[in-house]
Amino acid sequence: MKIAITGSSGFIGTALRKRLDVDGHEIHRIVRHRPQNDLEIGWDPAAHTIDPSDLEGLDAVIHLAGVGIGDRRWSPERKRALRDSRVDGTTTISTAFAAIDNPPTVLLSASAVGWYGDTGDREVDETASVGDGFLAELCEAWESATQPAQAAGARVARFRSGLVLGPGGGIMSRIAPLFRLGLGGKLGSGQQYWPWISLTDEVEAIRFLLLNDISGPVNLTGPVPVTNAEFTRALGQIMRRPTVLPVPPIALRTVLGEFADEGVLTGQRAVPAVLSKAGFEHAHPTLEAALRLATGH
């Protein structure tokens, strides 16, 4: 297959590109710099510009690009950047499908479990309605931006990822150093659910969506979501470090601002119902297995 990928140099994109290379697919990278060869496609998502003809004849586009959610405090400017990077990028890609005679037949577009808002201990699958809060509103707008591609006849799958656990990036790059220093502890009450997935399963699930006739929302999470307290205890045991000092909500709000309430102190008990029904099998079905992959322990 001929496949174009945005965000191909990121944590997930790098791993995905390597996996698809092994499969023998022809990978085209959609990049912000001037294309250096025939396998690069230039775009400027902020300006809504891409040459639609560059997508002509491709079989699929996998759209991963977006500013990191938890990389900085959420100032009004940062929240605008989070939204624009997702909605503008998705709109740019999606509308390009409608502008050519032979568009790709598949669009796989990233989203997040933040769609569901804070679910407490209520289990949710892909049939659940959108939740409340900035992240839920962001995900709703992000997913809605795929509509032009769907209207152009493409099969569109919107994959809602949980916390992706792997070496060298994602959440583990931020919390593993704290645990190594013995500073790991539950965040707030620790009762908020953290839906997780190993980097291997994230990549294999995207590949599964590419090769199977699945459309609509798809949760990319492990089979069994856990609470933050359970996550903390498991990681501490694997890294052989104490996890006795909880981090109070006020400290998190002081450091992280609004992101603390939406991205850390609340969570989603999301399960991968669509993947399970379609027969996808996780390589790392338990949190322990995913954490051992991520930490090398």
Residue 250 has pLDDT above 90, yes or no: no
Q: Residue 68 domain-assigned?
A: yes
In this prediction, residue 130 carries a pLDDT of 97
Q: Are 244 and 184 in contact (CB under 8 A)?
A: no
- pLDDT of 138 reads 96
What is the per-residue pLDDT across 181-225, written as a single tens digit (0 to 9) for each?
888 889 999 999 999 999 999 999 999 999 999 999 999 999 999
Tell me, yes or no, whether 208 lies in a domain.
yes
Average pLDDT over residues 109-125: 97
For the chain, the average pLDDT equals: 94
Q: Are strands 155-161 and 106-112 parallel, antiparallel or unpaired?
A: parallel
Please give the backbone phi and psi of residue 247, each rounded to the nearest 5 degrees, phi first.
-100, 115
Confidence check: pLDDT of 124 > 80: yes
Calculate ∠ Cα 211-294-209, nearest 5°: 10
The structure's pTM equals 0.95
Summarize pLDDT for 138-183 with one digit per residue, the tens. 999 999 999 999 999 999 999 999 999 999 888 888 888 888 888 8
> What is residue 254's predicted lDDT score, i.e. its pLDDT?
82
- Write down the pLDDT at residue 273: 98
**What total number of domains does the chain contain?**
1
Residue 146 contacts residue 90 (beta carbons within 8 Å): yes
Bigger pLDDT: 54 or 245? Answer: 54
Q: What is the pLDDT of residue 58?
A: 97
Check residue 82 and give its pLDDT.
94
Q: Tell me how far apart the alpha carbons of residues 51 and 35 are, in angstroms, rounded to a whole number.
A: 12
* pLDDT in the model for residue 55: 96
Asked if residue 290 belongs to a domain, the reply is no
**What is the structure's pLDDT at 247?**
86
Confidence of residue 256 (pLDDT cuts 50, 70, 90): confident
Confidence at residue 25, expressed as pLDDT on a 0 to 100 scale: 97
CATH number reported for the structural domain that contains residue 11 in this entry: 3.40.50.720
Does the pLDDT value for residue 132 go beyond 90? yes
Confidence at residue 195, expressed as pLDDT on a 0 to 100 scale: 96
Tokens found for residue 165: 């656990």
pLDDT value of position 292: 95
Residue 240 has pLDDT above 80, yes or no: yes
What local confidence, expressed as pLDDT, does residue 113 receive?
Answer: 97
Mean pLDDT of 221-244: 93
Is residue 15 situated within a structural domain?
A: yes
On whether residue 258 sits in a domain, the answer given is: no
C-alpha 270 chain-centroid distance: 14
- How does residue 243 score in pLDDT terms, banded at 50, 70 and 90? confident
Q: Which of 15-24, 32-41, 164-173, 222-231 has the lowest mean pLDDT?
A: 164-173
User: Is position 117 within any domain?
Assistant: yes
Note whether residue 83 is domain-resident: yes
Distance of alpha carbon 120 from alpha carbon 127, whole angstroms: 17
The percentage of the chain sitting over the pLDDT mark of 90, rounded to a whole number, equals 81
CA distance 213 to 230: 35
Q: Which pLDDT score, from 0 to 100, does residue 69 have?
A: 87
- Let me know if residue 53 belongs to a domain: yes
Per the structure, the complete domain to which residue 82 belongs is given by 2-170+196-223+272-283
- DSSP tag of 101: S
Count of CA atoms in the C-beta half-sphere (13 A) of 142: 32
